[in-house]
Structures are given as C-alpha cells and as structure tokens.
Amino acid sequence: MEPEVGDEIILKKGDINYQGIVIPSPKKDSIIIKLSNGYNIGFRKDSVKVISVEKKQKSKIFSEVKFDKRKDLPEISLISTGGTIASRVDYETGGVRWLMKPEEIFFMAPELSDITNFRNIISPFQIASESMTFECYRILAKEAAKELNSGSKGVIITHGTDTLHYTSAALSFMLQNLSKPVCLVGAQRSPDRGSFDGSMNLICGSYIAGHSDIGETVIVMHGEMDDTYCNVLRGTKVRKMHSTRRDTFRPINTSTLARIYMNGKIEKLSEYRLRNDENEVYPDIEMEEKTAILKAYPNFNPDIFDYYIDKGYKGLVIEASALGHVPTDTIDEKFSWVNSIKRAIEQGIIVVFATQCLFGRVNPFVYSNGRIMEEMGVIYVEDMLPETAYLKLSWLLGHTNDYFEIKRNMLSNIAGEINYRIQGDKNGL
C-alpha cells in the first residue's frame, strides 16, 4: 500500500524501524516522515521497506475564502509563485506545505474583499525564490503583461523574499512600456507565527496595485518592525538587508517611493513613473544565460577568469571594492587582475564594475588602478546595485553583443536603476 501525506507508517531500513507521520517531500523518489521526537527524517523510497500503514482521515487543511465581486472596486490580478507567503503549517503532520490553490491565500487576509476585486489568480509555478531562473522571469513577465493588457489595474506577485530583489530588477527591464503597478510581496515570518507579516504585505500591495497612481515595478514590504506601514520601493534600487527582520528590504542610494498604511492611506515620498491605463505593456524577455557575478576579495586568484572565458561567457559583473577597485599592483604578480581582465575583454566578454559597498558609486578616475581598468574597457555603472547590474547586463546581452551599444545602455537609465544625484532616507545612509 502506497503511503500518503498524513498517514502514520513504519519504515524498515536495514535492521532499524522508523515510525512517524508522512509529510510532503519535494522529490517523488523520496519519502519524509516526522518522528515522535519532532525531527524529520527522509529516505530514498527504494532504500526502505514499508512495514505498516495506518490511514488517517483527511481533513481539509487549507480553507478557501471566495469573494463576491463588487462593482465599486478596481480589478487586479494575482500571480502566486511560492515562498513563505504562500505556505501554511499542516498541524496534522507538523510540516509546512505550499498552498494548493492560489485562492487559499485569501484565508490569510479576508480584508482583501473590501480593497479590490481579483480579476484573475494564476500560479505558473510554486518554488522557493532561491530556485528562480531566467526562465521563471520570462514566465512572470509574460503573465504580468497578459493580465495588464487584458484589463487589470495592477498585478500582485507573491514571491519568496530571498531573491525578491533579483526578480523585481528583472521585471523592471523586461516589462517595457509599463505604466501600471506590478507589486512584488512576500513574507519574512512563517504563517504559524504571531509575527507573520504576509497578510499586511498582501493588503498593502493590493492597495498599491488597485488604488495608487504608481506605474512601475515595485516591492511592497514592511517599513518597520511593527505593523505600522509598508514601504513601496523601486524594483531596481532595493535590496534585502537582513536575514530575518520584517523590514529587511531597504532602498539603496535613493528614497522610498511611498508609504502605504493598512487603512489605504498612501503617503508619497519621492517621484515615480505615473500610472497610464491606456498603455500596452510589452514583455521583452530575451536574457543571456552566460552572465555571472564575481566578488573581488583579498587573495583572489584571477585564474578563475579562465573558466568563464573557456566556457564562452558573454558578461561578468564584478563586485569591486569601494570606488571600483580590484588588485593591480600586487606583491605576487599572479594575484594581479590586469592580464585576466584584459584577456576577458579581448575575448569579447563585457566586464562591468559595481561597488560591493552598495551605498555610493564607482568612479574610475580617483585612483590609478581604476584608470587602468577603465582604459581596458571595463564599464563602471555609477551607483547601480550589483544584482541590478547583473540582471540589466543579462537582459542587454539578450539583444546585442556590441560593446559600445551595451556600454551606452548600461550607463543610461532604463528603469530608474541609476541615480546621478544620490538620495537617501532613514532606511539608508
């Protein structure tokens, strides 16, 4: 008899028996059980023998909340991709499960029925954000554009927080002619905790998607540790800055666009692209897969560049120190980056420098090693975040390999990724 999630079973591996409750496994060829001591243990199915299975009565784990549409509310769309915000604890098994249907997410925030109508709810995939790929970005861009061009006033994308800022940057470049809000929201705390932040983030995101005059890709997440308000942050100028804090997302080298309160009050804090419901969005989804990020650090052996050259990479973003420095005048010549960078550029690789400091900008004209790199053809990308530079370079390389065209576009503002006059607020420096 094949055991199912929620069944209490006994497994035999070698001479040892294991008894516990079956919980969801991410792989079809494995089985995971929760032991009586609270720990989970997993096995390959072909490595164990099922001794006994006690079927448990299945209760409906996830409640659904269905809303009647109201004519006085704007219509938006929701795209669910996974992450903490799209999970719930199954108290029968003690495991965490993805929501099985996107509609189940409304169980967390029934207040949504008084904020917007949901024109469409889709879930193209359910994965943790660290597992995102360029193909995921392509799917999200196409789905968001489809919804916006079909009449939705805005789109909410629920997403894991670990790489939320990568996705917001990618969509900022891919969604061309965008003039409606695309709001990415997530949760830092799991839904079984009193400090769960997903409900508030979802509510605030719904206000921005349906009621604001914003017309660009933004992240909407907690602005403080308390449930005071959410910040609305430009998709190309934001970064996750703490592993667990609810106010982890901060604007870098810029100001917060707006604050949104739970009662729907929107407090504009800086300029942004305005909504224009007449524009048609074009999903420009070409991305070059062979791009990478490298971080400069002491004792870095530049032989690693040979790997990227030999593998045919098209672009490299270097997280250089401070103003954009990498080793040039080293005691041991093998640690100098000069020859490796020169060879990479000669082989047609676009090399971009961003500051690993995050705050501030790169400038090749202050110290001699910067001038050396700039003269060889390294592109210094002002105050752009390394992650944003990586996604922008990948997107540009999806359209052309021409160095001069890429340099011109890397140094031009496409989605607010460059600030020529750095701003900040209490969330930054």
Give the per-residue pLDDT at 229: 98
Beta strands 230-234 and 258-260 are antiparallel
Give the per-residue pLDDT at 192: 63
How many H helices and E strands in the chain? 8, 23
> What pTM was computed for the model?
0.86
For the chain, helix, strand, coil in percent to 5 are 25, 25, 50
Give the per-residue pLDDT at 5: 82
Nearest in space to 133 (alpha carbons), one of 294, 289, 293? 289
Nearest in space to 224 (alpha carbons), one of 203, 240, 247? 247
Give the per-residue pLDDT at 177: 98
Catalytic residue list: 84, 161-162, 240
Give the per-residue pLDDT at 168: 99
Q: Which CATH class is domain 291-410?
A: alpha beta
Give the per-residue pLDDT at 38: 67
Q: Options 1.20.1250.20, 3.30.390.50, 3.40.50.1170, 3.40.50.1820; which CATH number does 75-283 get? A: 3.40.50.1170
Cβ neighbours of 363 (radius 10 Å): 15
Residues in the chain: 429
Whole-angstrom CA distances from 405 to 81, 378, 408 are 34, 14, 5
Topology match between the domains 75-283 and 291-410: yes
Give the per-residue pLDDT at 155: 99
Instruction: Give the residue ranges of the chain where pLDDT is below 70.
Output: 1, 26, 38, 56-67, 86-105, 192, 423-429
Residue 138 forms beta bridges with which residues? none
Give the per-residue pLDDT at 23: 80
224 membership: H or E segment, kind and range: none
The predicted-structure confidence for 301-337, as pLDDT tens digits, reads as follows 999 999 999 999 999 999 999 999 999 999 999 999 9
The residues spanned by each domain of the chain are 8-54, 75-283, 291-410
Give the architecture-level CATH label for domain 8-54: Roll (2.30)
Give the per-residue pLDDT at 63: 54
Q: Is 389 exposed, middle or buried (0-12, 13-18, 19+ CB in 10 A)?
A: buried
Give the per-residue pLDDT at 318: 99
Dihedral sign from CA coordinates of 22, 23, 29, 30 = negative
Distance CA 208, CA 231 (A): 11
